[in-house]
Structure 1
Amino acid sequence: MDLGQVLHMNGGVGEKSYANNSLLQQKVISTTKLLRDESIINVCGNTLPKSLAIADLGCSCGPNTLLVISETIKVVEKLYKKMTHKSPEYKIFLNDLPGNDFNTIFQSLDTFKENLRNEIKTEMDHCYIFGAPGSFYSRLFPDNSMHFVHSSYSLQFLSKVPEGVDDNKGNIYLSSTSPSNVLKAYYDQYKTDFSYFLKCRAQELVEGGCLFVTLIGRQSEDPSSKEISYLWDFMSVALNDMVLEGIIKEENLNSFNVPLYYPSLSEVKLEVLTEGSFSINQLDSSQIIFKELDNYKDAFNSKISGSLTEDGYNLGQCIRAIAEPLLVGHFGESVTKEAFNRFQKYVTDNVPKDRTKITNITMILTKRP
């Protein structure tokens, strides 16, 4: 299975789309805003570049896609106005895998630019927006060309399913029943991917450029911790039930593992220090209680409209918007639909939302001389 083609969020604007089930991601972007503002001011404050290159890696498609870009430009405009300096030329690069719904993004760009100009109430010099399809586990931009690279809730995805996990039978991710070699294979793949990600970004950023990343991580040092992997355990239960009922062949289930890794803070720090291209400005973790999202939508006037039910923000729908294309690529559409219906029932019946927490790891890195 070619992950570059099947690993993407649900497109469009329907009930199961990522656009209508990305409130958690929007909350995280809002939570990290002050840190992003400070970071882009630090990048621009000393030199006030005439041309500013910004990239968002793993941009997906939906209300969040241009949110970081919009907020960043507003901060830069305010800074340049304060310094009585002409607005810079903006070069904005939106990156995701080729299967991402770029068409919907491109169709919204004229409206985005018009709304942005009305909000900042100043004439930006020029703002050019480009699509940059491809894996961020590879080179995306020319040497020394980027000033600020951002990524939110994307880097927990691996470049591929780790090799040597064939004996992870009955599981689709790391579990308490996964053999030790499977845990090692996932960790080794994470180290390889993250180290190369850092190397590529270091080549692309200008000296003093900033890499700002938020991803889902874990508090525990145990990679099979139930903190977040329990959700994949529920999907495993759903798929195993379908094996027992003859809907799925056992070998088809045993050959499927999700390409994800939720690192601990110490694992992230070790790789940044080992790779060596960046200074650490900030590296910490925080948690979001899932129940809080029920009130977030109204409080922040969110444009996301399909993710709230009578029981509040729907955790099952959130996971479905992210993972459905991956399962369809392996099991087929009809099987995947049934699996998610079962998965959602397991989540609703068994997960107390007031105790469900998502651990976020945020890193702010500066390219070394």
Structure 2
Amino acid sequence: METVETLHMNKGAGETSYAMNSFIQRKIITLTKEATEKAIMEILCSRREPIMKMGIADLGCSSGPNALRVMSEIVEAIYAASNMLDRPAPKELMLYMNDLFTNDFNNVFASLPSFHKRISRKNGDDSRNNGYFGSNCFVSAVPGTFYGRLFPTKSIHFVHSSSSIHWLSRVPSGLEDKNGKGLNKGNISISKKSPNCVLEAYSQQFKNDFSCLLESRSQEMVYGGRMVLSFLGRQSMDHTSSNCYYQWELLANALMTMVSEGLVEEEKVDSFNTPYYASCYEELKTEIEKEGSFMVYSHEAYEVDWDDGMYLQSDNDILGAMSKGERFSRTMRAGVESILKYHFGNHIMDELFQRYAILVEDHLSKTRAKFFNLIISLVKRH
């Protein structure tokens, strides 16, 4: 199963949409802001002459308020850095919003008027320009997988990606035996019960994908360009050393309760695996050095609570009345429902995520569950 065909965040602005249930992702974006600002400053500092036209790409922009929030912060960082350096800002900003073909780009671009107003007001520009401080911002959708070419050669100065690189281009091959039976029995992702062949298959798929991402960006980015990638990962080379996949184990448990009641076929669960991989810094560094086009400028990691950021909209009465388990269940549903529907059908979704919410609530009552988020800043060598 290739993600280009099946993976997208839930569309629209309904109660199970990504737009209404992406608070954890918003929190992660705030953690990336400092690395982004440093990268922008370094890009502008490294050039003797002012940049006249600057290409900026957000890989895996998705939809909802987070998408243009990122671009707004990048534009503001360019403005602030230009002021600090006492240099003219780029005359034109080419802002590329990338995600898979099935992404809800209509939702993104419906917010463009407010985006232009925000950056114009923030930077004291005449709103008639639809730009900022005398510049023009040209926003474009670039549908397609970031594990391949997306942009013209040497056209991009800065690449940003948040909460996206942990998605693989496809479910790894080699997860079935010669008779087509699933080898990751009772699981839907890597778990402590997964056989070594499953771990190796996921690891190899990640290496293939990440090297493709680096090779593609190396052709598209200018010398000295910067890339800031933020995504869910793990703390060590040992896949089972932490609970970096536990959100998937609980979802598998919810599915297996439905199997026990005859609501889902066990073979259906055994044949389903998520295109998700939590990498560690050592793996990333190895692939970066092997590809050779980029140098690691900095890297850092943060722990993020499963329910972190869910209270950012305190005026949302519906969210306020929900349990932690229900809120986290909605967050997961907004991100993974598309691939579950593709395999299991739409008819079990409500029941599945109700059961999942109960399991998550029980887990959170016993422990402070956390994600491990990696942020890595890269510089284009040549």
TM-score by length of structure 2 reads: 0.90
Code of the aligned partner of 2:345? G
Q: Is the 8 A contact 2:51 2:89 kept in 1?
A: no
Matched, 1:121 2:124: yes
Say which is worse superposed, 325-334 or 267-276, in terms of deviation: 267-276
Does structure 2 retain, via aligned residues, the 8 Å contact 1:211–1:366?
yes
**Residue in 2 aligned with 1:94?**
97
Say which of 357, 361, 368 aligns to 2:374: 361
Shift of 1:86: 5.0
Once residues 225 and 325 of structure 1 are traced to their aligned partners in structure 2, the CA distance between those partners, rounded to angstroms, is 29
Q: Does 1:163 align with 2:147?
A: no
- SS of residue paired to 2:66: coil
Tell me, yes or no, if structure 1 residue 253 matches structure 2 residue 266: no
Q: For residue 78 of structure 2, what is the aligned residue in structure 1?
A: 76
1:333 pairs with one of 319, 322, 346: 346
Which of residues 239, 263, 273 is equivalent to 2:279?
263
Compute the displacement of 1:80 (Å).
Answer: 2.8
Give 1:10's aligned residue: 10
* Counterpart AA for 2:332: I
**In structure 2, how many angstroms separate the alpha carbons of the residues matched to 1:304 and 1:207?**
46
Deviation at 1:189, TM superposition (A): 0.4
User: Counterpart amino acid of 1:12?
Assistant: G
Q: Gaps spanning 5+ residues in structure 1: where? A: none
Q: Which residue of 2 aligns with 1:55?
A: 57
1:132 to 136, 139, 142: 142
* Aligned-residue CA RMSD (Å): 2.0
In 1, Cα distance between equivalents of 2:230 and 2:338: 23
Contact 1:90 1:126 in 2 (8 A): yes
Other structure's SS at 2:353 match: helix
Summarize deviations over 1:50-71 as a string: whole Å, max 9, x none: 1011000000001110112111
1:219 aligned partner: 235
Whichever residue aligns with residue 55 of structure 2, its letter is A
Paired position in structure 1 for 2:333: 320
Tell me which amino acid in the other structure corresponds to 1:146: I
Do the aligned partners of 1:170 and 1:240 also contact (CA within 8 Å) in 2? yes
Partner of residue 311 from structure 1, selected from 304, 323, 345: 323
Aligned to 1:135, the other structure's residue is in SS state coil
> Residue 147 in 1 paired to residue 157 in 2?
yes
Structure 1 pair 21/157, CA: closer, same or farther in 2 (3 Å)? same
Measured at CA, do residues 211 and 340 of structure 1 come closer, stay the same or move farther in structure 2, by a change above 3 Å? same
SS of 1:361's equivalent in the other structure is strand
Identical counterparts, % of pairs: 38
Q: Structure 1 counterpart of 2:111, which letter?
A: S
SS in 2 for 1:66: helix
The 1-side partners of 2:7 and 2:366 are apart by: 27
Contact 1:117 1:124 in 2 (8 A): no
- Return the offset for 1:346: 0.8
Does the CA-based 8 Å contact 1:14-1:20 persist in structure 2? yes
> What's the CA shift string for 1:271-311, capped at 9, x where partnerless?
1122211111002222123455355555xxxx988655443
Cα distance change on mapping 1:308 and 1:6 into 2, 3 Å = farther
Whether the 8 Å CA contact 2:63–2:107 is kept in 1: the answer is: yes
TM-score where L is the length of structure 1: 0.93
Provide the C-alpha distance between the structure 1 equivalents of 2:145 and 2:184, rounded to a whole number of angstroms: 26
